[in-house]
Amino acid sequence: MTEGKWWFVPLLPGATVRDRALACAGALAGVALIGISANLAGHELHDQTWILAPVGASAVLVFAVPATPLAQPWPVIGGSTISALTGVVCVHLISPEPLAAGVAVAAAIAVMTVARCLHPPGGAAALTAVLAATTDTDIGTLFPVVPILLDSLAIVALAWVFHRVVTGHSYPHRALVPSPGPGVKAGEGQFTDADLDAVLGRVGSTYDINREDLEAILDAVQTEAAQRRERQKQTGAAPPRGQT
């Protein structure tokens, strides 16, 4: 964080108070509706076989950061379900339980990565399967389907409706389409895919943003900078301090 700024500021670029308030409202409505639906089906709201903690973690992603690749429908549904299945398998094949817990989460990450559905709550789903077995809780062999798959389908459907009706954000997320602004020559200051890949490889970090979005944002920033320089040339104004 930039020196001189206090700590409690949004860590997510572009986040606004309105976005965070709507995310809270969406999570409240989404999780509550899932719980109420389970109750109407004849089960108590606290019945952990119908609504579990991982759906709360999924709600944070789909309502608060709907543009992240981790919150898209396939990661939410596939990542959660596959991870839960991984946890169930580990319970039956591995002992003692602490080792099974570690293997379940590690294997869930590996399987989600291969299946291109990395979803952090998937780790919680895998761990839940193991912890339930250690506390003699009968989760049943259908645990990956009921409640994990059903909860995942429900939270994705509710997020889809919520973002279209309330927030206006695209969900499932659609990557930005860069467009050159007026006064900017085609290709001026632009970079190639190879340039972006080279920088990402050199930095050596993984970012929670779609690669196409990252490319579009960088291209838009270059376009904005080119337009600013053009305006400065026309007006003869000196660039702001710290800019060239």
Cβ atoms of 58 and 80 closer than 8 Å: yes
Cβ atoms of 221 and 228 closer than 8 Å: no
DSSP one-letter string for 38-97: HHHTT--TT-TTTS-HHHHHHHHHHHH-TTSGGGSHHIIIIIHHHHHHHHHHHHHH--SH
Tokens of 112: 């989600």
Query: Mind listing the pLDDT tens digit for each residue in 176-193?
Result: 666 655 555 555 556 777
Query: Mind listing the pLDDT tens digit for each residue in 92-134?
Result: 999 888 999 999 999 999 999 999 999 999 999 999 999 987 7
Q: Give the span between the Cα atoms of 44 and 163, in whole angstroms.
A: 29
Which one has a higher pLDDT value, 207 or 9? 207
Q: What is the CA radius of gyration of the chain?
A: 23
DSSP one-letter string for 146-162: IIIIHHHHHHHHHHHHH
Band (pLDDT 50/70/90 cuts) for residue 138 is low
